[in-house]
Amino acid sequence: MTSDARLMLLHPEDDVFVCCSSIAAGDIFLIEGQPVCAAKAIAMGHKVSRRHLAIGAKVRKYGAPIGSMTVAVSPGDHVHLHNLASDYLPSHVLDTGNSEAKR
Amino acid sequence: MTMRGYPRADGRKGIRNVIAVAYLVECAHHIARAIVTRCEDIDVHLIGFPGCYPNEYALRVMQALGTHPNVGAVLIVSLGCESFDRKALQEAVAASQRPVDTLVIQETGGTAATIARGVQSVRRMQAAISMIRSIPMSMSDLVIGTVCGGSDGTSGITANPAVGRAFDRLGAEGAACIFEETGELVGCERIMASRAATPELGRELELSVHKALAYYTTMGFGSFATGNSEGGLTTQEEKSMGAYSKSGGAQINGILKPGDQPPTGGLYLLDVVPDGEPRFGFPNISDNAEIVELISCGAHLTLFTTGRGSVVGSAISPVIKICANPDTYRKLSADMDVDAGRILEGRGTLDEVGTEIYNAVVRTATGERTVSEELGHQEFILTYKTFEPIGPACLPMRQSPVRRP
């Protein structure tokens, strides 16, 4: 199914797209043919959910698990530190005021 | 285009002919730096070790650097009372048939006298090594490292896999290619092990990552910085999968530790995480510590990928900087050698950027300066570590005849 040209799928089994051109708040973009309105801006390099993901679900990117969901998400949601955590080591983040997603 | 190298007594060839000025304790740093500054020569580089306590690893790395193919001569600057074994360093460099001098500040008359003597010494070395004529060099003479710094969500889809393409081609043509930072391979250990030359090596590859995970767990942080998350990376294993793609798709021929030279061409992993219980802090406190270790394994140059935008170069071996993020490239293009982020804007493919990286390697090995060299970047950092020698399963190719045509 078609998705937005601004979103890149790295592996057919992946649960997330990578944003390869920034999406502004309020932009409409397509996830698997379904339109979604961006609640917040999504910067280049950030991840967008491809489907519903429950708490505890393993998330795949590059076809490999990159962590587990700590908050459930819907298709088109920004997937980052506020809803995804490592299965290995916690991610330390300095609050520089730039980080749009804090834990 | 023919690659050319300066022939060294051990059979290796250098793509640069650098004089290394090495301080052996922080107390000698200012004098060593003043000597380098006064020489005003792009090929006189400052290296050194800050600590006063002895450390076998630091000695081994300094010996490897002092006898590195890119180094033509070494000036050692010692305060006099530090524990670094200056005699062992001097002897290793002398045994390699390079000019070497040692100045001991406490015996030379202090700051001004040592700086003056050091400048004279470097002038003599410049005259001596300028007599060395470069000779043609083949791909199998070349050792290439790769490192990523300031990674973001674009690194793993542009610059890193493009380096992987370049590595596949360089390794197939006989170059030794080294990737590293086992802490940034956490989560990839099984996938990586499946590419090992032997099952025993595969097991060692997995163990090296387990060691890294245990070490970083004790430290309380993974190899993950604030900028990584601002650039869209969320977890260590996500960053790892992106970093891992620098290794390309070739068979992994072995594991090295700092100071070990790859015995053949092809792909090697450098294990940078200390052995034993965590003792001296984080394995590599910044990107240049990793670059120094790649150089200690003989790397003639380093392919450095960056998404957020690192500007560093290195002492001794040139750094080629490959920018993963097109927005970063627009801001920092004067610090970058290769624009890999253009892939995201439809202005190039992974194969095209991989070829561009390959060509940049060849040009750098013909003597062309990289951007960071031109800008005067010569960063260097070396700190305390402890390593056991590599195990017998780590270099399966060493048992086979070493083929370096």
Residue range B115-131: mean pLDDT, rounded: 98
Q: Phi and psi at residue B392, in whole multiples of 5°?
A: -65, -25
What the block records as the tokens of B276 is 């034993």
* pLDDT the model gives residue B400: 55
Task: Bin B98: left if φ > 0, else alpha if -120 < ψ < 50, else beta.
Answer: beta
CB B192 within 8 A of CB B185: yes
Helix B56-66 with B287-296: angle, nearest 10 deg: 60
Percent of chain B with pLDDT over 70: 98
Residue range B19-46: mean pLDDT, rounded: 98
Using one digit for the tens of pLDDT, what is the confidence trace for B296-355?
A: 999 999 999 999 999 999 999 999 999 999 999 999 999 999 999 999 999 999 999 999
Nearest CA to B227 out of A14, A37, A45 is that of A45
* pLDDT the model gives residue A103: 37
* B352 C-beta neighbours (distance < 10 Å), count: 15
* pLDDT the model gives residue B222: 82
Residue A91 burial by Cβ neighbours in a 10 Å radius (0-12, 13-18, 19+): buried
Nearest CA to B195 out of B174, B169, B175, B168 is that of B168
* pLDDT the model gives residue A97: 57
Measure in Å the smallest separation between the Cα of A94 and chain B Cα atoms. Answer: 6
Residues of B in contact with A61 (CB under 8 A): 238, 241
Measure in Å the smallest separation between the Cα of A34 and chain B Cα atoms. Answer: 23
* A85 C-beta neighbours (distance < 10 Å), count: 19
Question: For every residue of chain B, which 3-state class applies, written as one string?
Answer: CCCEEEECCCCCEECCCEEEEEECCHHHHHHHHHHHHHHCCCCEEEEECCCCCCCHHHHHHHHHHHCCCCEEEEEEEECCCCCCCHHHHHHHHHHCCCCEEEEEHHHHCCHHHHHHHHHHHHHHHHHHHCCCCCEECCHHHCEEEEEECCCCCCCCCCHHHHHHHHHHHHHHCCCEEEEECHHHCCCCHHHHHCCECCHHHHHHHHHHHHHHHHHHHHHCCCCCCHHHHHCCCCCHHHHHHHHHHHHCCCCEEEEECCCCCCCCCEEEEECCCCCCCCCCCCCCCCHHHHHHHHHHCCCCEEEEEECCCCCCCCCCCCEEEEECCHHHHHHHHHHCCEECHHHHHCCCCHHHHHHHHHHHHHHHHCCCCCHHHHCCCCCCCCCCCCCCCCCHHHCHHHCCCCCCC
ipTM: 0.91
CB B54 within 8 A of CB B384: no
* pLDDT the model gives residue A101: 41
Using one digit for the tens of pLDDT, what is the confidence trace for B281-298?
A: 999 999 999 999 999 999
Amino acid identity at B72: G
* pLDDT the model gives residue B287: 96
Q: Phi and psi at residue B404, in whole multiples of 5°?
A: -130, 80
C-alpha B69 chain-centroid distance? 13
Nearest CA to B143 out of B29, B2, B256, B46 is that of B256
Q: Strand, coil or helix: what is B132?
A: coil
E strand or H helix at B332: helix B326-332
pTM, entire model:
0.95
Residues of B in contact with A47 (CB under 8 A): 153, 232, 234
| B125 confidence band (pLDDT: 50, 70, 90) | very high
Distance CA B76, CA B66 (A): 10
Residue of A nearest to B153 (CA): A45
Distance CA B151, CA B158 (A): 11
Nearest CA to B211 out of B231, B182, B239 is that of B182
Using one digit for the tens of pLDDT, what is the confidence trace for B186-240?
A: 999 999 999 999 999 999 999 999 999 999 999 988 888 889 999 999 999 999 9
Residues in chain A with pLDDT values less than 70: 1-2, 96-103
Using one digit for the tens of pLDDT, what is the confidence trace for B66-88?
A: 999 999 999 999 999 999 999 99
Residue of A nearest to B244 (CA): A62
Residue range B274-285: mean pLDDT, rounded: 93
Averaged pLDDT score across all residues of chain B: 96
Partner residue facing A92 (CB), from B217, B224, B327: B224
* pLDDT the model gives residue A99: 44
Helix B236-244 with B159-172: angle, nearest 10 deg: 40
Using one digit for the tens of pLDDT, what is the confidence trace for B177-194?
A: 999 999 999 999 999 999
Q: Which residues pair with B14 in a beta bridge?
A: B6
End-to-end CA separation in angstroms for chain A: 33
Partner residue facing B237 (CB), from A10, A67, A99: A67
Q: Which of A91, A93, A103 to mutate to test the interface with B (most CBs of B within 10 A)?
A: A91
* pLDDT the model gives residue B59: 98
Residue range B53-62: mean pLDDT, rounded: 97
CB A27 within 8 A of CB A33: no
Distance CA B141, CA B377 (A): 25
Residues of A in contact with B181 (CB under 8 A): none
* pLDDT of B92 over the 70 cut: yes
